[in-house]
Structure 1
Amino acid sequence: MPEEMSQIEYLIKELETGNWERRVDAAELIAEIGDPDSVQNLINALNDEDYHVREAVALALGTFEDSNAVEPLIKCLSDEVSGVRYAAALSLSMIGDERALNPLEKATKDENEVVQTVSRLAISEIKKKM
């Protein structure tokens, strides 16, 4: 890592340009560092072509509890990969924004039982925060 580049700048670069495994690692490390200025970079990465990355990013966004992530995470409830849908539902429960209630209600009818269960739990958690 070049000295003039901060740790978070390096991770954001990896999130955008590394191979999929490095992008996953970058998303997880960004969440651990907890730099709120990186939320938009994570939101952008929800459109990654690799589902591993989308899932890791969706989970990472929950740690920030940033309402700017709500709408992009709601879109992830329709992802073709159940792991991404599960991660989005879990993060929406952590953020606790009531805008997610109706989409999560629809997700309780998901084809995947884990997504259904996590969506029900997310609804419960959001209602507790209201």
Structure 2
Amino acid sequence: MADEAPKLIQIGKGGPGVKKDGFNLISEKVVKVDPEARTMEIELLAYEGKTVVLEVGEELLEDLKKLKPGDGVTVRVIEEEPGAGVQGTLHSGTAKRRIVKGFTIRSRDANKTRAEEMLAALSEGHWLTRKYAVETLGTLGDTRAVGPLIECLADEVHDIRQRAYDSLIKIGAPSVTAVASLLTHEDDDLRQSASEIIRKIGKPAVEPLTEVMQGADETLQAKIRKLLDRMGYKPKPKTEVL
């Protein structure tokens, strides 16, 4: 059960104080979501982990259904004069009603949030920023980075190309399907890079390579067979169903 609601404070440049048009509450953890009652219970680290149940505006019901226990969330709350409120919350009775008028869900996975920042950084103009982003994405191993990292294999800066090469190897098997498409690329350097990346991934690359070969044209099939042979693997022949 939620503790007594802490006093809401303004979060902004003006410092703590009452704010008539609403307040921001930042929570690292949603404890409970009840779409039927139209409420959410959140933990407030700023108040030593106490939780508070908040009524959610009717217009946010569909968004509320997307919220899951464990999510981090930034909530915009307004206070209204006492009214009917939602029974069982801290807003019913004589207390002021605290109603959520907007909220933003934050990822439960810190690495996922970091990856999103690095993916955005790939569009930065300064090459040092892109270099750092490419390297970090490889360390995080987020599969969403595969496509952007492949594009970085053709970057004008050598260090970025090298970091993209290394990062795709770190991501491993999930990168193989996309990297394999470069085996027939018109650019010699990209073809060579693709071959080396897959070979360095090693055994985990065999299964996705075999799957790619099944739907590939003859040219790509030949490239994959040759690559698998160099890696010491031979694809099993298809068994025809009679």
Aligning the two structures, in what range does the TM-score lie when normalised by the shorter sequence? Answer: 0.5 to 0.7
Residue 44 of structure 1, aligned match among 151, 163, 170: 151
Determine the C-alpha separation between the residues in 2 that align with 1:76 and 1:28.
Answer: 26
Are the equivalent residues in 2 in contact too, given 1:11–1:30 (CA < 8 A)? yes
Residue 34, structure 1, aligned to residue 141, structure 2: yes
| Partner residue in 2 for 1:91 | 197
Residue 188 of structure 2, aligned match among 78, 85, 88: 78
Are the equivalent residues in 2 in contact too, given 1:43–1:69 (CA < 8 A)? yes
CA 1:91–1:69 in structure 2 vs 1: closer, same or farther (change >3 Å)?
same
Determine the C-alpha separation between the residues in 2 that align with 1:55 and 1:77.
Answer: 16
Aligned-residue CA RMSD (Å):
3.5
CA 1:78–1:35 in structure 2 vs 1: closer, same or farther (change >3 Å)?
same
Q: Map of 1:16-27 to 2, 5 A cutoff?
A: 16-27=123-134
Structure 1 residues 90-114: Cα deviation after superposition (integer angstroms, max 9, x where no partner): 31211343658738x6xxxxxxxxx
SS of equivalent residue, structure 2 residue 122: helix
Structure with the bigger RCO (C-alpha within 8 Å, sep 6+) is 1
For structure 2, which runs of at least 5 residues remain unmatched after alignment? Answer: 1-105, 108-112, 211-219, 236-242
CA 1:70–1:30 in structure 2 vs 1: closer, same or farther (change >3 Å)?
same
Between the aligned residues of both structures, percent identity stands at 20
SS of equivalent residue, structure 1 residue 128: coil
Are the equivalent residues in 2 in contact too, given 1:62–1:90 (CA < 8 A)? no
Residue 128 of structure 1, aligned match among 233, 237, 240: 233
Determine the C-alpha separation between the residues in 2 that align with 1:129 and 1:34.
Answer: 28
| Partner residue in 1 for 2:119 | 12
| Partner residue in 2 for 1:108 | none
Determine the C-alpha separation between the residues in 2 that align with 1:33 and 1:76.
Answer: 31
SS of equivalent residue, structure 1 residue 79: helix
CA 1:76–1:61 in structure 2 vs 1: closer, same or farther (change >3 Å)?
farther
SS of equivalent residue, structure 1 residue 16: coil
| Partner residue in 2 for 1:102 | 223
Higher helix share: 1
For structure 1, which runs of at least 5 residues remain unmatched after alignment? Answer: 106-118
Determine the C-alpha separation between the residues in 1 that align with 2:166 and 2:184.
Answer: 13
CA 1:11–1:18 in structure 2 vs 1: closer, same or farther (change >3 Å)?
farther
Task: Report the CA distance between 1:14 and its aligned residue.
Answer: 1.9
The AA in structure 2 aligned to 1:90 is E
Q: Give the structure-2-normalised TM-score.
A: 0.35
Q: Give the structure-1-normalised TM-score.
A: 0.59
Are the equivalent residues in 2 in contact too, given 1:77–1:88 (CA < 8 A)? no
